Amino acid sequence: MARTASPRSLEQQIALRVRRSLRGRVFTPQSFASLGSRDAIDKALQRQVRQGALRRLSRGLYDKPRHDTLLGELWPSVDDVVKAVTAKGKLRVQPTGVYAANLLGLSEQVPARIVLLTDGSSRTLRAGPMRIELKHTSPRNMAAAGRLTGLVIQAFRSLGPGGVTRARIARLRETLPAAERKKLLADLDLAPTWMWPALRALAEDPSASAPGGASKKKPAHKRTP
């Protein structure tokens, strides 16, 4: 049987992990679950907050604050918060809306309200100025979670038919690996039919077709007189 760490040694181990971590790192009690009981971990984290080593973002969510000489204390990145929240509940999530478009580089807007589809329960979490909404959804909407297909479908959905332009498709062709883009073709049935032409265009090899969709022709050789 594994020995349970004493409250003192548990507190020291948590303090050491926090001290060695990079600023901006986000923690939950589950980050230290192997060290002891939930009650002892909560008390140790509260002590770290009182000492200023950690900042409490919301219930069960902490970060090691980052500081900027001009801006002062900074909030953690959206990605770090989302990773911590999903790891905490071992949830499968699918970014949606503007957040999905931002992850693909199709939008520079970083939303304060982040919506994640999940096959878990619906709830709302806060992390400083950020509001993270977990929305329970159908198995169909989670079928491509964790894959490029899911991210692209949700990003295109947020942009709408008029927002999925040739320029944006061309940009994704440059930034996404060809092997991953080709996988979109196997998941067409998971997307609305209006997206199919855009997904096919994104999946194809840009060197195989001209911007307008016509095949590139090799220049004709001049005949020797």
Map out the domains of the chain with their CATH numbers: 8-74 (1.10.10), 91-207 (no CATH)
Angle, vertex CA 128, rays to CA 127 and CA 130, nearest 5: 65
pLDDT at position 6, please? 66
Q: Which burial class, exposed, middle or buried, applies to 130 when counting CB atoms under 10 A from its CB (0-12, 13-18, 19+)?
A: buried
Per-residue pLDDT tens, the chain, 225 aa: give them. 445 556 678 999 999 999 999 999 999 999 999 999 999 999 999 999 999 999 999 888 999 999 888 888 888 888 888 888 888 667 789 999 999 999 999 988 878 889 999 988 898 888 888 899 999 999 999 999 989 999 999 999 999 999 999 999 999 999 999 999 999 999 999 999 999 999 999 998 766 544 444 444 445 555 554
> In whole angstroms, what is the distance from residue 108 CA to residue 155 CA?
13
Q: Taking Cα atoms as reference points, which of 102, 132, 129 lies closest to residue 116? A: 132
Within 10 angstroms of residue 86's Cβ, the number of other Cβ atoms is 17
pTM for the model stands at 0.74
Cα dihedral value 39, 30, 50, 73, nearest 10: -160
Pairing of strands 61-63, 55-58: antiparallel
Closest C-alpha among 56, 210, 88 to residue 116: 88
How is residue 214 written in tokens? 């016509």
Residue with tokens 């199709």: 106
Other beta carbons within 10 Å of 99: 24
**Going edge to edge, which strands form the sheet with 93-95?**
93-95, 113-118, 130-136, 123-127
